[in-house]
A and B are shown apart, each in its own frame.
Chain A
Amino acid sequence: MTNKHVNAVVVGSGAGGGVVAKELAVGGLSVVLFERGKWARYDDHNNDELTSQRTFPLGAYFGPDNERYRRVAVDQHGNERIVYPNDWAYHNNAACVGSGTVSYGAMAWRFMEECFKFKSTYGHIEGSSTADWPITYDDLEPYYEKAEWDIGVAGDDYRNPFAPWRRRAHPMPPFKHNREARMLEGAAIKAGFHPFPIPMLRNSIPYGGRPPCIRMRNCVGFACPVNAKCGTQNTVIPVAIDTGNCELRTECQVYEVMTNGNGRVTGVAYFDERDRRQVQTADIVILSASATETARLLLNSKSPLFPDGIGNSYDQVGRNLQGHAYCGADGLVEEEVYDDVGPGASIAICDFAHNNPGITGGAMLANEFIRMPYLFTGVRPPGSARWGKAHKDFQKNFFKRHVSIRGPVQEVPNPESRVQVSQEVKDHWGIPVARISGFKLDEDIRTARFIAGKAEEWLRAAGAAQIWLSVPGTGVSGSQHQSGTCRMGDDPQSSVTNRYGQVHGVDNLFVADGSLHVTNGAFNPVLTIMALGYWVSDYVVKEWNHGNRF
């Protein structure tokens, strides 16, 4: 049986795709939203750290599975190995309806104005492909607001003197600090910093027909038992389905974007839940499969007109892969600061996100989410015992006296950090898998060292007795913050899409996910990805309603 032709296919129901499906469906287009995973629920893994999306030695509960998925990881010496989703080198995010937005920590950051102008702010950096975004913060501001109100954010940016301008306050008041954050608040002020509560995609009051958060230990890496965490799966996707215009097709693995002899996209080919090959035709296709998988899809969509993959005439697809150069400091304090009020991350400063003399970029700094027991076994000052009595004693004595500050250092993009498709390795369906290679620039590490030093200052002001710094290695980053692989730009020779996420030279093909990011901000990326979902959709729907069929 052939599938009925629709106006739009959206591939991937995560942060970007969920938003696009809703906006297009509400805008009157008929939509099929494809998701390779299933609906995810809380019940089956409620206290199971080993299968959470944050620490997953026994497999990531929110997908993808180790049986059908694999990738090739290339280290800095060029050694290749096959990796599975429960390996950090796989660079996983998630695979279920809502993707990472089901199990995320839900920090809801707007990028700052400088984040969109990285090159003009910091100049060219040797070895990089640094660039400004083709759009500015001002362009995206209304769409940030839309994301905040549509999906739900609790926060108070007016307490952050470095916050970018905004038209409208957050829809929900910020959360109250837990004991650790109250302690850190005084310390930050003492150090001369400007602390404020982290904006969160979690209900602090009833919102969107869902109850407020009950402040649990296991939030990041888990689904929410009371639906207080705001993801696309419990906000925009249900709205999309309720319009009657959107069909969500789960357990469907899209493997190719199809084109005709004129170079126009005609739809997608996919394997359904029973591994049968199927085709879904559409007037337009929007790829929201995440930075790694969107790039892989484009590269795997080869035809005589596109011998190297769609949108890849200038060898740009898959390049500039970036996550964040995460860094920070850990400290041990005299008094117990752990009060079991989750999710832990609560307080932040933006003093060092930009404008650090002599430094390229910077990062927001925040206290960490609660470290679960197994994760905490890896938290030790350098030189400590990794096992045995001393290791057990540390676990016992310091779990409630440990404070951790972390910051996502904005990386300078480089073209050698990239997603390609493997020539040899195939997935369960016989489709070439993503091959991830690359490195961070020395400049990223230099900034990370600077930011870790600021985290140390904060902990010192908090009276931490023992402090140790954490600075990342030079390996390629991606994982939960993966972005940049199909960046937007005005020049087709150095970008993959235009400012509206429309793939250069293929008018009815769009991208709307982390792939679009030119630089990844000094912040966690998800609210920006959602805002871009609204931005791209707004363009598509407006044009569509003017009769443009691209």
Chain B
Amino acid sequence: MNAKSISRRNFIKMSAIGAGCLCIPGCAGTPATYHYILTAREAEILDALADQIIPPDEYAGGREAGVTNFIDKQLSGFYNEHVPMYRACLMALDETCRDIYGREFTVLEFDTQTSYLEDIESGKYNDRDWNGYTASSFFGTLRNHCLQGFYGSPRHGGNKDYVSYRMMKLDYPFLVGRNVH
């Protein structure tokens, strides 16, 4: 890890502690997590996107299952090449949103967020310059990464408490000789 990302990490850590101090136990504030790559704002947008891709119901949604954490962790490693795309497109997504809806993505109603993303997916905003990226193809990659985070092994930082496996009624954790036949 280079000096720049370490300092960012420390910075986020500090601000997260700061936020934690203001927060009384049990309040619905920003959880005191920090990220390797993502800024607090980027993580906030990604949390909202993760809940769109996998909405919460009787089982956790993408946000609660740690999808943002998964993506952040991969961006600092295996998906490092995708960092510039995330950096550019999360902000562009928010900008286009303000342009169309007059508000930031994270404060839109859930259903409005959904229809905005459906438009992105169908290519409606592909003529906009998302800092050199195409809106719909970013969305495709984002969708895949969210699904990987939610349905992949918890060892990669998502699928907290094996939520997707519990939801699909699959025994986990996997213990050889115990829950096999």
Contacts and interface: CB of A to CB of B under 8 A. Distances in A.
A57 B148 contact: yes
Interface string A395-419: 1100110000000000000000000
A218 B170 CA distance: 12
A48 B153 contact: yes
A48 B151 CA distance: 10
Contacts of B121: 386
B164 A340 contact: no
B174 A340 contact: no
A35 interface: no
Given A340-B171, A387-B52, A387-B54, 20 more contacts: A47-B174, A48-B152, A48-B155, A58-B78, A58-B148, A217-B170, A225-B176, A340-B170, A341-B181, A342-B180, A374-B148, A377-B151, A386-B121, A387-B146, A392-B54, A392-B55, A392-B57, A395-B151, A396-B168, A400-B168
Nearest to A397: B168
B168 A49 contact: no
B178 to A, nearest CB: 11
B78 A46 contact: no
A218 B155 CA distance: 16
A226 interface: yes
Interface string B139-150: 000011011100
A357 interface: no
A274 interface: no
Contacts of B74: 58
Contacts of B102: none
Nearest to B78: A58
B168 A399 contact: yes
B55 A389 contact: yes
Contacts of B31: none
Contacts of B35: none
A302 interface: no
Contacts of A218: 174
Interface magnitude class on chain B: 20 to 34
Contacts of A391: 53-54
A50 B143 contact: no
A209 interface: no
Given A215-B180, A392-B57, A373 B148 contact: no
Given A387-B52, A396-B168, A57 B180 contact: no
Interface magnitude class on chain A: 20 to 34
Interface of B: 52-55, 57, 59, 74, 78, 114, 121, 143-144, 146-148, 151-153, 155-156, 164-165, 167-174, 176-177, 180-181
Contacts of B176: 46, 214, 216, 225-226
A373 B174 contact: no
Closest 10 CB pairs of A and B: A373-B151, A47-B174, A50-B152, A374-B151, A48-B153, A387-B53, A377-B147, A225-B176, A399-B168, A215-B181
B180 to A, nearest CB: 5
Nearest to A398: B168
Contact of B153 (A47, A214, A217): A47
Contacts of B152: 48-50, 58, 373-374
Interface string A271-289: 0000000000000000000
Interface in A368-398: 373-374, 376-377, 386-389, 391-392, 395-396
Given A217-B170, A218-B174, A58 B165 contact: no
Nearest to B53: A387
Contact of A214 (B144, B155, B180): B180
Interface string A114-137: 000000000000000000000000
Interface of A: 46-50, 57-59, 66, 214-218, 225-226, 340-342, 373-374, 376-377, 386-389, 391-392, 395-396, 399-400
B57 A49 contact: no
A400 B171 CA distance: 13
B171 A49 contact: no
Nearest to A373: B151
A290 B67 CA distance: 37
A43 to B, nearest CB: 10
Contacts of B177: 214
A89 to B, nearest CB: 15
A342 B156 CA distance: 24
Contact of B57 (A47, A226, A389): A389
Contacts of B156: 48, 50, 58
Contacts of A374: 147-148, 151-152
A225 B179 CA distance: 14
A47 B173 contact: yes
Contact of A46 (B57, B146, B164, B174): B174
A387 B50 CA distance: 10
B163 to A, nearest CB: 11
Contact of A395 (B143, B167, B180, B181): B167
A159 B54 CA distance: 46
Contacts of A217: 170, 174, 180
Contacts of B148: 50, 57-58, 374
Nearest to A392: B54
A395 B52 contact: no
Contacts of A226: 176
B53 to A, nearest CB: 5
A6 B177 CA distance: 44
Contacts of B153: 47-50
A389 B61 CA distance: 10
A49 B152 CA distance: 6
A234 to B, nearest CB: 17
Contacts of A396: 59, 167-168
14 contacts: A47-B172, A57-B144, A58-B74, A58-B152, A66-B78, A217-B170, A217-B174, A373-B165, A374-B147, A376-B168, A388-B114, A389-B55, A392-B57, A396-B167
Given A48-B153, A374-B151, A377-B147, A59 B78 contact: yes
A441 to B, nearest CB: 30
B52 A388 contact: yes
A392 B52 CA distance: 11
A218 B169 CA distance: 15
A53 to B, nearest CB: 15
B169 A400 contact: yes
